[in-house]
Amino acid sequence: MKYEDYYTWQENIPGFGKEAQEQLKNSTALVSRVGGLGGPLAFSLAAAGVGRIILAHGGELRPDDLNRQILMTHEGLGTLRHEQAAETLQRFNRDLRIESVGENISEENVSDLVGGADIVFSCAPLFEERLLMNREAMRQGKYFVDGAMCSMEGHVLAVDPGISTCLACLVKEPPAYWKRRFPVIGAVSAMVAQIAVLEGLKLLTRFAEPALDRLIHVDTLAMRMKKVRVLRDPSCPHCS
The residues of the shown chain that bind Zn ion, judged by CB under 5 A, are 166, 168-169, 236, 238-239
DSSP for 179-219 reads -S---B-HHHHHHHHHHHHHHHHHHHH-SS---TTEEEEEE
The dihedral over CA atoms of 58, 59, 64, 65, expressed in degrees to the nearest 10, equals 40
| 81 versus 135: smaller Cβ distance to Zn ion | 135
Comparison of 25 and 139: residue with beta carbon closer to Zn ion: 139
Residue 29 beta carbon to Zn ion: minimum distance, rounded to whole angstroms: 21
To Zn ion, the closest distance from the beta carbon of 164 in angstroms equals 9
Query: Residue 124 in contact with residue 104, Cβ under 8 Å?
Result: yes
Closest to Zn ion by CB, 66 vs 236, is 236
Distance in Å, CB of 169 to Zn ion, minimum: 4
Burial of 148 (0-12, 13-18, 19+ CB in 10 A): buried
Nearer to Zn ion, 172 or 227 (CB): 172
Q: Which helix (H) or strand (E) holds 122?
A: strand 119-122
Residue 100 C-beta: closest distance to Zn ion, Å: 29
Task: Look at residue 158 and give its three-state secondary structure.
Answer: strand
